[in-house]
């Protein structure tokens, strides 16, 4: 405390005399130094981590965007193919001159090869997606 | 008040500080050892006697000090710098940008519960503690920092973020009020 802050005011002495006793350590220093060590390790880890350059982030985002666009295009063509097949079917039935072309559901056992093909296709697609991720 | 730090020579503290800045944790532990009492007492006062919270904040204060030790320019005493960090940490904890310049004294007397001080049974400490509750928060902190934490007026003003004149004004008003409240004590007996 500066000399100029001292006064002979008895109240000042009274207030100083009423100050609480110093606190014993009680393990505080040890706990604090443990926290200091943890903070220092966290800071060292943070320093070691190389920040990703913005250009790298931009390239990754562009690649992801291209992949997404490719999948969307594939889906659009697939849906267009199904719609075109259905339209062709309806047109063939409608334009049939002697009603020889009809729509009849095939027997269940005739669906088995198609189901097998679709199952293989689904497994192949799932395998490809899992390898990509 | 005789803090452990007061017993240490400033040269010794400067030596530990220089070594701590070079990464010597043992030297920093010495600094923590010598300043822990005053920082914890300051925070106990700020947290209204919540010893566990005060110790947590004190620990964070020293961790912050370690991480930013090279930012300490040495313009002030290390104790002043630590008290300032402690106050900032407390204000962050209670999400207040700064200390209120005035605070309702009636509210204060309801909130504060003297008795956490191990010397509360002693008459002087108890009566001063009660008298302090009648002050506004900023007045109480001004008294505590100047008389209990043994800081100069300039240092206390720096810690509390107040202009020196404002701090002295708060101190004068606080002392006037305390003089009324502590009239039963014969101040000469304490000198």
Structure tokens belonging to residue A53: 């350059």
pLDDT of residue B106: 42
**CA atoms within 13 A of residue A59's CA, in its CB half-sphere:** 5
CA distance B52 to chain A (A): 11
CA distance A124 to chain B (A): 54
CA distance A52 to chain B (A): 25
Contact B33 A31 (CB under 8 A): no
User: Measured between CB atoms, does B133 come within 8 Å of chain A?
Assistant: no
User: Measured between CB atoms, does B166 come within 8 Å of chain A?
Assistant: no
Q: Which residues of B touch A25 (CB under 8 A)?
A: 33, 36
Mean pLDDT, residues A91-99 taken together: 82
User: Measured between CB atoms, does A22 come within 8 Å of chain B?
Assistant: yes
Residue of chain B nearest A23, judged by CA positions: B37
Provide the 10 A C-beta neighbour count for residue B77.
17
**CA atoms within 13 A of residue B61's CA, in its CB half-sphere:** 34
> pLDDT band at residue B125, thresholds of 50, 70 and 90?
confident
Mean pLDDT, residues A56-76 taken together: 93
- The conformation of residue B74, written as its DSSP 8-state character, comes to S
CB < 8 Å from B in window 83-112 of A: none
Residue of chain A nearest B61, judged by CA positions: A32
Mean pLDDT, residues B119-129 taken together: 67
> pLDDT band at residue B5, thresholds of 50, 70 and 90?
very low
- Nearest by Cα to B36 from A35, A38, A41, A39: A35
| ipTM of predicted assembly, 2 dp | 0.74
Which of B60, B148, B175 is facing A20, going by the closest CB pair?
A: B148
**CA atoms within 13 A of residue A128's CA, in its CB half-sphere:** 6
pLDDT of residue A81: 96
**CA atoms within 13 A of residue B190's CA, in its CB half-sphere:** 22
User: Measured between CB atoms, does A42 come within 8 Å of chain B?
Assistant: no
Beta strand segments in chain B, E? none
pLDDT of residue A20: 84
pTM: 0.62
Which of A15, A35, A37 is facing B59, going by the closest CB pair?
A: A35
Residue with tokens 């304490």: B190
Q: Which residues of A touch B41 (CB under 8 A)?
A: 20, 22-23
Mean pLDDT, residues B78-104 taken together: 78
Mean pLDDT, residues B128-147 taken together: 87
User: Measured between CB atoms, does B175 come within 8 Å of chain A?
Assistant: yes
- Nearest by Cα to A15 from A29, A35, A1, A28: A1
């Amino acid at each position: 405390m500066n000399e100029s802050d001292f006064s002979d005011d008895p109240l000042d002495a009274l207030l100083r005399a009423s100050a609480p006793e110093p606190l014993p350590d009680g393990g505080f220093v040890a706990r604090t130094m443990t926290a200091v060590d943890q903070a220092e390790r966290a800071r060292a880890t943070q320093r070691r981590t190389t920040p990703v350059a913005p250009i790298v982030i931009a390239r990754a985002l562009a690649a992801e965007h291209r992949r997404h666009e490719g999948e969307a295009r594939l889906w659009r063509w697939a849906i267009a193919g199904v719609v075109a097949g259905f339209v062709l079917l309806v047109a063939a039935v409608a334009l049939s001159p002697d009603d020889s072309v009809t729509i009849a559901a095939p027997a269940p056992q005739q669906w088995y090869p198609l189901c097998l093909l679709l199952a293989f296709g689904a497994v192949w697609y799932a395998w490809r997606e899992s390898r990509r991720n | 008040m005789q803090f452990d730090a007061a017993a240490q020579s400033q040269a010794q503290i400067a030596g530990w500080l220089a070594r701590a800045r070079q990464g010597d944790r043992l030297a920093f532990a010495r600094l923590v050892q010598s300043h822990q009492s005053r920082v914890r007492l300051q925070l106990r006062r700020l947290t209204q006697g919540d010893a566990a919270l005060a110790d947590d904040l004190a620990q964070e204060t020293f961790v912050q000090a370690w991480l930013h030790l090279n930012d300490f320019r040495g313009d002030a005493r290390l104790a002043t710098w630590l008290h300032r960090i402690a106050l900032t940490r407390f204000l962050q904890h209670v999400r207040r940008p700064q200390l209120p310049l005035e605070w309702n004294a009636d509210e204060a007397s309801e909130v504060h519960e003297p008795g956490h001080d191990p010397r509360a049974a002693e008459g002087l400490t108890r009566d001063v503690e009660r008298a302090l509750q009648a002050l506004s928060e900023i007045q109480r902190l001004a008294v505590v920092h100047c008389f209990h934490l043994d800081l100069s007026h300039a240092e206390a003003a720096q810690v509390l973020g107040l202009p020196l004149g404002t701090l002295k004004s708060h101190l004068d008003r606080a002392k006037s009020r305390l003089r009324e409240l502590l009239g039963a004590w014969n101040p000469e007996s304490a000198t």
